[in-house]
Chains A and B, each alone.
Chain A
């Protein structure tokens, strides 16, 4: 057992029709190290992990465990080799308890009846040992995201896995929870576990990892020792060029009030409490106001209330001087553009053509409809114009079914549609989610151009960097309330994090 590597993926090549997702990638994880896997969206990280878990078979290359070649045909094989993974989207059964989720798949039974006592003891012991606080009898749907993640980690430990993979584990956590997670990872390493940490957040990698392998467009760019590198170099390796980490923008020149929200309250459809509680704020023409916060603190419902997707139970919303508190969606849309949080759920009809999606907010206007009939030629030429202006790439131009387009181009289509129509207010919810650096730059530029053209922009974002870079004013949301208003030029990420975690709040003099 002189082999230093716990698991090795050597010269892995995996092709899909049209693209090579992994091209001769080599990744070697040493015993007891934290190894980061860095790459943009679409760089091939998930494909590589799917190969490791036997979801895909690589065309070339091999996987070795302790130096011996192994074949992995399905996740069970991976589990037998001691490989476990915390997925980005947790694989938990919402209506089961923490304990049931942990034992699922490896239950102990006696005469066919489940025996949970021993399992409970083992889980408590593990939770003690690694500082993973959970309530084994709580249902997943009732606990915080952080606790759900700890459940996922316990799942791996319960199975005695010694190779642990964390897939973008910090995306859903508060800065303080991220700190805790980093500590947990270090504890795990101390106990001899080998950890693969998939991320695109450079500062986290710098803090916790020993080595880092960088992927770009399916190819392995290299593996570096964290001690010998810095964030700039890593980002250059990841993107392939120097990146403008900070968006360029002139100071804002706020004009008249466009959106005025007073005491807005929105009920939650997940629990009995209100998701948004008496929130008040204003957005002016020519400024970007960013609502920051951890996912699930009422931002979604705030937007639903503003845009009319959910009823407002109390308070008022005034847009350009008109009360729209209870106005139907279409009336609001006359002056409000909305880039929705979930482009596939709300933003697009995936089975419609690109042109039909581009007129989704305007098909009823005289320009596109006459006497109840759609004016196809007008729709086609309008679509062609937007496709050209916003550089939307697709297989068959305006007739392409949107489902077949890439995520980045789907998002561009929504942005083109929402920016091209008349609006005084732009509500953009996580507009860069899941996009690569190039697309993010494009979208940030568009938002700033909108602002400079005098639009009021309300940006809802979970990405701290985006919040700090793009906004002119930050509102922090915590448990349905706005707990602070910050100036991005005068605040720090740490302070922002404290507000987001509810550890700090400005008293409402507002």
Chain B
């Protein structure tokens, strides 16, 4: 049971981090469908850092890894921001391209590094066994993952930033009615850049949190298994509001956790449901949830529409 809670928390943390990223981007008016790719890039940056830090002090590992993952995600979203905001490219196409590009690029990079270290090693796996223990701390029998703390912090910050600050007010104005924002002197392009870059930071952290959740090496050819999109489903279910996103993430995280631990829970294991069902569960749940929440969604009104000054 403790294991179930532990897993639920860490999966919920990952989903809420990435979903909050999507939330900032969409509140600024840009749909970031490239979150999946951002996660991969964050994971790559983080994993390589952990590999090189090896057995440094725990605090150093945690902080530096998070910083590098965030920066990697941020750098990667520059590609999205430039294409979608400045050149008004199709946001769906660019997001998709970034997802594909991330996996291909991460694979090439990791392989190139592996090959340069040992010419017979052509795998796309990064091993970070030594540093991985730093990410969790034991509280009794409960192993607490630092990313859970980061996610909680992010949720609180997101709430304050969106609803209590000038930045949040302006950001949301750009996603709802960019013409109105522009007419009162707000630089829509700048705000959208901010929104997208924040999504890069959060997506990047979510990425490293994802691959380190329980395993000590990651094969980059596999990407992040649609978790960027699951996070978007969480965001929609959470109606673009930070606190709701946190709750939605808990629900999704729970179902994902079930698939990891069901065999250890007597009565669930006894039901002999094929393991495939558990693996598919988060995806199926998200389809169902979307079917019931998409109809009256309160998505930012101007999301997905490139801002064109001449349409004022």
Contacts and interface: CB of A to CB of B under 8 A. Distances in A.
Contact of B177 (A75, A93, A105): A93
Interface residues of A, number: 26
B175 to A, nearest CB: 9
Nearest to B180: A91
Given A75-B185, A79-B185, A105-B185, A93 B180 contact: yes
A92 B180 CA distance: 6
B169 A107 contact: yes
Nearest to B174: A93
B183 interface: yes
Contact of A113 (B165, B170, B176, B186): B165
Contacts of B180: 90-93, 101, 104
A100 B176 CA distance: 13
Contact of B173 (A93, A113, A155): A93
A227 interface: no
Contact of A106 (B177, B184, B301): B184
A76 B183 CA distance: 8
Interface residues of B, number: 23
A467 to B, nearest CB: 31
B254 to A, nearest CB: 31
B244 to A, nearest CB: 15
Contacts of A202: none
Contacts of A105: 170, 181, 184-186
Contacts of A95: 176, 298, 301
B164 interface: yes
B184 A155 contact: yes
Interface in A94-125: 94-96, 100-101, 103-107, 109, 112-114
A138 interface: no
Q: Is the interface of A mostly helix, strand, loop or mixed?
A: loop
Nearest to A76: B185
B166 A55 contact: no
A432 B246 CA distance: 51
A95 B182 CA distance: 17
B189 to A, nearest CB: 12
A423 interface: no
Interface string A39-55: 00000000000000001
B272 interface: no
B169 A100 contact: yes
B169 A91 contact: no
Interface in A23-82: 55, 74-76, 79
A94 B176 CA distance: 8
A47 B185 CA distance: 19
A100 B177 CA distance: 13
Contact of A109 (B165, B172, B181, B182): B165
B138 interface: no
B170 A104 contact: yes
Contacts of A76: 185
A87 interface: yes
Interface string B138-179: 000000000000000000000010001111011011001101
A107 B170 CA distance: 10
Most buried by A among B160, B183, B298: B183
A145 to B, nearest CB: 16
30 contacts: A55-B309, A55-B312, A75-B182, A75-B185, A79-B184, A79-B185, A85-B183, A87-B183, A91-B177, A91-B179, A91-B180, A92-B180, A93-B172, A93-B173, A93-B181, A94-B176, A95-B176, A95-B298, A96-B172, A96-B173, A100-B169, A104-B169, A104-B184, A107-B166, A107-B169, A109-B166, A112-B165, A112-B166, A113-B164, A114-B169
Given A92-B177, A105-B185, A113-B165, 20 more contacts: A55-B309, A74-B185, A75-B182, A75-B183, A79-B185, A85-B183, A87-B183, A93-B176, A93-B177, A93-B181, A95-B301, A100-B169, A103-B169, A104-B170, A104-B173, A105-B181, A107-B166, A112-B166, A114-B164, A155-B184
- Shortest beta-carbon contacts, A-B, top 5: A105-B184, A91-B180, A76-B185, A91-B183, A107-B166
